[in-house]
C-alpha cells in the first residue's frame, strides 16, 4: 500500500473515531411531549350562608370560606410512550413499549431548554444574571424567590406563595427521590420540592413529588414531576402517573393565560 493511501486511511479512521465518540457521548435529553387536555375544572362557588338580622341585636359571626388560588395551575394525568433507537429523521431502528413509564414530566414557559446546563432552583440566588454557571447543583446567580414571585404578582406574605408551597428545602434527605435529567444525577432531596396531594388529601412521602429546576442561560424555571413507578391514587381517588403545580398570575385584573411547554424523559 502506498504511503499516501496509508495517510488517507489514517485520516479517515481519525474522523470516524471522532464522529463515533461524539455520537456515543451525546446526552440523552428530555423530549417535547404531545399533550391532550381531557379535563379542565375549577372549584364551584359555595352557597352563601345567612343569618336572620333583627333590629337592636348585635351578633358575633365566625365565618369560614374557600377561595381559589390566583397563583397556581394544577396538572395531573397519565404518561404513555416508548423508548426507541432512531435517527435524526425519527426513522426507528427499534423501540420498546413501556407498560409502566418511569422518568419525569417537565413544564416550562420556555419552549427551548438547554438541558445540559440544568440545576436546582435556589431561592437565595443573587438575582444578578451571569448567563452561565457550572451545571448541576444549585444556581448561585439569576432568578431567586423574590424575582420569581414578583414576576407572577405574588406578595411575600401570600399564603399560597412559592416558598409556602415548595416547602421541602435543599439537602433534605427523603424529601424527594433521586432522579436523572439529561444524564445529570440529582440526589435524593437535593432540590427544593413539594408533594402534591394523593387520595389521602395530603402530600405523602414518595408520592407525586415535584421539584423546581433552573436553566441559567435562558433563566428558565422548570417544574418537574417525578413519574410514579406504577399508577397511584391521586387527589380524586383515580390512578395517575403524575401530578404537578405550575405558576400562573391571576391576580387583580390579570385574566391572560400563560402557555406552558411540556417535556418528558422516559427511563
Report how many domains make up the chain.
1
Domain assignment present for residue 62? The answer is no
pLDDT for 4 beyond 70:
no
Domain assignment present for residue 65? The answer is no
pLDDT number for residue 171 = 86
Per the prediction, the chain carries an average pLDDT of: 86
Domain assignment present for residue 3? The answer is no
Rounded to whole angstroms, the Cα distance separating 265 from 207 reads 18
Domain assignment present for residue 37? The answer is no
Which residue range is the domain that position 181 belongs to? 71-267
What is the helix, strand, coil percentage profile of the chain, to 5?
Answer: 15, 25, 60
pLDDT for 15 beyond 80:
no
Rounded to whole angstroms, the Cα distance separating 242 from 208 reads 6
Rounded to whole angstroms, the Cα distance separating 10 from 144 reads 52
What is the tens place of the pLDDT at every residue in 60-95?
999 888 888 989 999 999 998 888 898 988 899 998
Domain assignment present for residue 186? The answer is yes
Domain assignment present for residue 44? The answer is no
Cell 435524526 belongs to 88
pTM metric for this prediction: 0.84
Domain assignment present for residue 11? The answer is no
Rounded to whole angstroms, the Cα distance separating 68 from 66 reads 7
Query: Which of these, 225, 195, 231, lies nearest to 78 by C-alpha position?
Result: 231
- Segments in the chain forming alpha helices (H): 3-25, 145-151, 162-165
Provide the total of helices (H) and of strands (E) in the chain, helices listed first: 3, 15
Q: What pLDDT band is residue 131 in, cutting at 50, 70 and 90?
A: low
Q: What pLDDT band is residue 27 in, cutting at 50, 70 and 90?
A: low
pLDDT for 43 beyond 50:
yes
pLDDT for 40 beyond 60:
yes
What is the tens place of the pLDDT at every residue in 165-186?
999 999 888 899 999 999 999 9
CB 121 within 8 A of CB 213: yes
Domain assignment present for residue 85? The answer is yes
238 HSE (CA, 13 A, CB side): 7
Amino acid at each position: 500500500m502506498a504511503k499516501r493511501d496509508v495517510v488517507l486511511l489514517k485520516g479517515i479512521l481519525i474522523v470516524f473515531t471522532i464522529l463515533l465518540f461524539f455520537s456515543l457521548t451525546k446526552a440523552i435529553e428530555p423530549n417535547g411531549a404531545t399533550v391532550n387536555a381531557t379535563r379542565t375544572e375549577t372549584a364551584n362557588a359555595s352557597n352563601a350562608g345567612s343569618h336572620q338580622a333583627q333590629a337592636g341585636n348585635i351578633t358575633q359571626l365566625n365565618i369560614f370560606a374557600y377561595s381559589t388560588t390566583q397563583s397556581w395551575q394544577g396538572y395531573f394525568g397519565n404518561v404513555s410512550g416508548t423508548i426507541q433507537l432512531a435517527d435524526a429523521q425519527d426513522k426507528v431502528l427499534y423501540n420498546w413499549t413501556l407498560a409502566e413509564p418511569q422518568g419525569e414530566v417537565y413544564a416550562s414557559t420556555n419552549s427551548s431548554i438547554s438541558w445540559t446546563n440544568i440545576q436546582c432552583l435556589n431561592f437565595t440566588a443573587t438575582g444578578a444574571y451571569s448567563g452561565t454557571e457550572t451545571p448541576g447543583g444549585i444556581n448561585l446567580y439569576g432568578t431567586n424567590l423574590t424575582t420569581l414571585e414578583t414576576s407572577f404578582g405574588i406578595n411575600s406574605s401570600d399564603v399560597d406563595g412559592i416558598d409556602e408551597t415548595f416547602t421541602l428545602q435543599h439537602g433534605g434527605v427523603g424529601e424527594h427521590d433521586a432522579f436523572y435529567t439529561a444524564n445529570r444525577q440529582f440526589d435524593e432531596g437535593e432540590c427544593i420540592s413539594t408533594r402534591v396531594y394523593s387520595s389521602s388529601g395530603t402530600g405523602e412521602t414518595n408520592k407525586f413529588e415535584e421539584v423546581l429546576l433552573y436553566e441559567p442561560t435562558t433563566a428558565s424555571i422548570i417544574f418537574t414531576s417525578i413519574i410514579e413507578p406504577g399508577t397511584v391514587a391521586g387527589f380524586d381517588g383515580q390512578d395517575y402517573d403524575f401530578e404537578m403545580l405550575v405558576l400562573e398570575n391571576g391576580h387583580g385584573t390579570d385574566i391572560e393565560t400563560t402557555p406552558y411547554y411540556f417535556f418528558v424523559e422516559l427511563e
